[in-house]
Chain A
Amino acid sequence: MPRRWRLLLTTLLVAPVLSLAGEGEAQQLPEGNSCIQCHQGLGDPRVTPPAERFAQDIHLAKGILCQDCHGGDPASFDPQQSMSRAKGFIGRPKHQTIPTLCGKCHSDADYMKRFNPSLRVDQVQEYFTSVHGKLLKKGDQKVATCISCHDVHRIRAIKDQQAWTYPVKVVDTCGRCHGDPAYMAGYSIPTDVVAKYKVSVHYEALTKKGDLSAPTCNVCHGNHGAAPPGVGSVANVCGTCHGVPADLFAKSPHQKAFAAMGLAPCVTCHSNHDVMKTSDDMVGTTDKAVCVTCHDANSAGFKQAAAMRASLDGLRESIGRAAARLDQAEHAGMEISQARFELRGATDALLKTRAAIHLVDRAVIQKLTDEGTQIATAALAKGDKALDDLAYRHRGLWVSVGIILLVIVGLVLKIREVDRRQDRERIAERRE
């Protein structure tokens, strides 16, 4: 039997068995497709995995098969025919051609509409504005292309939880290159960004709280157009989520001062990849405060920082006192839910004050903390009143119990008197 026919026979017998293998939700591979059946049947680790992985690829689900990227004739089981250059077979695409190859469909609005009318078609265009795209154009063979982030032959929809582009997996996708010092040698950028990001409040929100809107690499750097945000655009990037602080910062005296010093807004105080949960300790003049990084002791800014911190502490302590008093009253069984609800107004004022710190305006902060303190004081007064009421109830109880006891004593005396009288009467009756 000629070698070609032996190969075909082996392929036809083995392929159905192999098509059952694989992980995840595999789809049914098409029958009569020579690319898939031959590559599966070969059992060669160099050429078989793509055919096996393809069972989980989104393209297969949409009816897009091997020949749509690689060319050739899948109807023919003659390798000379199926992999004929004359039939458009391109083999394994070169690294620098991948964006253009994917863009053949993904940049064609008419074609993409068939699958999803709202799908964007500017990814390739955007890619060439990225650092990756620019370096690729210069002939860099290591930079990321489409398949570096989306996988190859097992490309999944971005909403698929197993996709490399699913929000919680993005950091590891980027980290495969950007967290690998050996791979990144030659590019003068740090490789500790992945480790830093993984201790950030953003990563915690994304992975522990399951908040998929929390930022990961692509949210701040862009995905197809990935690039580090410049000093001038950091506030805009952070401001897409943290709008209020960003707006307040833009109106603050810090805005001009930071620009003059060449400091990036937001990240200078909050850091970039390892953004920690904020606390009131960041404001003020202690070692933990970020203000002292720039403001020397006795400078106007230093005094301003101390005053803002004092306002924050004052309001927070007022809320704490009121909450403790209400807790005390509640544990004693008093109904204080209305006061507790009202105290939320003071907590809101504290949150507004914390945001207003970015404006660096002492008068605004004082006004907000005064409003909050007023609400907290009113709640504290309600807690005090509840405890006073409780004391009044206890006094009232003991007075009532005293009266009841007196009546009981009177009744007991009356019972004894009646019993004795009746005993005397019975004895007198017996004598008679």
Chain B
Amino acid sequence: MALPRMVQRLTAWLDERVNVTEIWEFVRHKVVPVHRHTVWYYFGGMTLFLFAIQVCTGILLLLYYRPSAEEAYESVQFIVTEVHFGWLIRSIHSWSANLMIATLMIHLFSVYFTQAYRKPRELTWVSGMCLFGIALFFGFSGYLLPWNALAYFATKVGTDVAGQVPVVGHLLTQILRGGEEVTGATLSRFYGIHVAILPLLTTGILGIHLFLVQKQGMSVPVELERSGSPPTTMPFFPNFLLRDLVGWLTALAVLAALAAYFPWELGVKADPFAPAPAGIRPEWYFMYMFQTLKYLPAKIGPLDGELVGIMGFGLGGLFLLLVPFLDQRAARGEKSPLFFWIGVGIVTYIVVLSVLGYVAPGGQ
């Protein structure tokens, strides 16, 4: 199909300066392997799409949000009641954040179980794990920003947990809170982290992650690689991208439905002098940790139960971060049942403890 003359001239002008033809050729020749696990490839793009929604809606919220203990709650209230489509933007921002973490977790574990972290994609995995950590911190810092009672006390509990980290715990809590208690200083700090520091880090690490994905191409499962026969592929453009678009539009429709039928609650304004309300709980993606800490006894041997829990989660995170370097069988292109079953254990643990967090007596 011939491009309009105007577009042709513009392309030629750009080509002369930044060689867009090379980029276009790359896109045109990029292929995506087709096999029984291809479906998992879509979750990376879906996460990226939801992140883009977060950026757009976040920028719009910034226009009205005021980051102080005196005004934060009222400004969010103003956004959802007075600003045109403010309710929609705020609800989509909140729902999209949760869906993004969900798709990110699916993406992470699909990569884990297909052993796509193996050589030569170690750095892609490590950068992805960093992005996962950043996404969790995005959620934690954003939860406090409306300055409502539930978020206030959940942040208090969350930052108390950070205080259990050996040696630097107290310092870490003080840095997070901007003092001894959760106050307006904590809110300003979380705001700065949420809208400046984390986006900056994300931009850099996401850039590296996407560069590596393009540079190394999509990984194929070990058994397919070992079969020796070249995998069936489909062109990225337009075949895979069109399929991606279907997924993105479906996600958009789901987000709109959630925003219209289940608008994100604002709750009551935080009052530091009021008793903690019933049902304080973190966002669902922290629930398994919260529930674990509830089950741990006060003392495990000479150590505090909470400290043991924190160290356990720290080691778990470190294990996931370093898995490409620990799984030597995968590095040799072989299947690794041990790591597969460890992964099954981790997923089961997260799912069971999260469910218990919502259904166990006292869980709510």
Residues in chain A within 8 A of chain B (CB atoms): 333-335, 337-338, 393-394, 396-397, 400-401, 404-405, 407-408, 411-412, 414-415, 418-419, 422
- Chain B contributes a number of interface residues (CB within 8 A of A) equal to 26
Given contacts A393-B88, A396-B260, A397-B261, 16 further A-B contacts (CB under 8 A): A335-B266, A337-B266, A337-B268, A393-B259, A393-B260, A397-B256, A401-B256, A404-B249, A405-B253, A408-B246, A411-B242, A411-B245, A414-B238, A415-B239, A418-B238, A422-B235
**Residue in chain B with minimal CB distance to A402:** B253
Report whether over half of chain B's contact residues are helix, strand or loop; otherwise say mixed. helix
B57 to chain A, nearest CB (A): 15
Query: For window 209-256 of chain B, which residues contact chain A by CB distance below 8 Å?
Result: 235, 238-239, 242-243, 245-246, 249-250, 252-253, 256
| Cβ of B182 under 8 Å from chain A | no
CA distance A394 to B246 in the complex (A): 23
- A404 contacts B253, CB within 8 Å? yes
- The 8 Å CB contact of A333, one of B235, B257, B262, is B262
- The 8 Å CB contact of B260, one of A335, A394, A408, is A394
Render B11-46 as a binary contact track against A, CB cut-off 8 A, 1 for contact: 000000000000000000000000000000000000
CA distance A408 to B253 in the complex (A): 10
- B263 contacts A333, CB within 8 Å? yes
**Residue in chain B with minimal CB distance to A330:** B265
Give the chain A neighbours of B88 by CB distance below 8 A.
393
- The 8 Å CB contact of A401, one of B87, B235, B253, is B253
- Evaluate whether A411 and B77 lie within 8 angstroms (CB atoms) in the complex, with A334-B263, A337-B268, A401-B256 already known: no
Give the chain A neighbours of B239 by CB distance below 8 A.
415, 418-419, 422
Residue pairs across A and B with CB atoms within 8 Å: the count is 60
- A415 contacts B263, CB within 8 Å? no
- Evaluate whether A401 and B257 lie within 8 angstroms (CB atoms) in the complex, with A337-B266, A338-B77, A415-B242 already known: yes
- A337 contacts B77, CB within 8 Å? yes
CA distance A408 to B268 in the complex (A): 40
**Residue in chain B with minimal CB distance to A336:** B81
- Of the listed residues B261, B262, B266, the one surrounded by the most CB atoms of chain A closer than 10 A to its CB is B261
- A415 contacts B256, CB within 8 Å? no
Residues in chain B within 8 A of chain A (CB atoms): 77, 80-81, 87-88, 235, 238-239, 242-243, 245-246, 249-250, 252-253, 256-257, 259-263, 265-266, 268
CA distance A419 to B265 in the complex (A): 44
**Residue in chain B with minimal CB distance to A404:** B253
Give the chain B neighbours of A419 by CB distance below 8 A.
239
- A338 contacts B246, CB within 8 Å? no
A-B contact pairs, 6 of them (CB 8 A): A335-B80, A335-B263, A337-B266, A396-B260, A397-B261, A401-B257
- A400 contacts B256, CB within 8 Å? yes
Give the chain A neighbours of B263 by CB distance below 8 A.
333-335
Give the chain A neighbours of B238 by CB distance below 8 A.
414, 418
Give the chain A neighbours of B266 by CB distance below 8 A.
335, 337
Give the chain B neighbours of A414 by CB distance below 8 A.
238, 242
- B242 contacts A333, CB within 8 Å? no
- Of the listed residues B80, B87, B243, the one surrounded by the most CB atoms of chain A closer than 10 A to its CB is B87
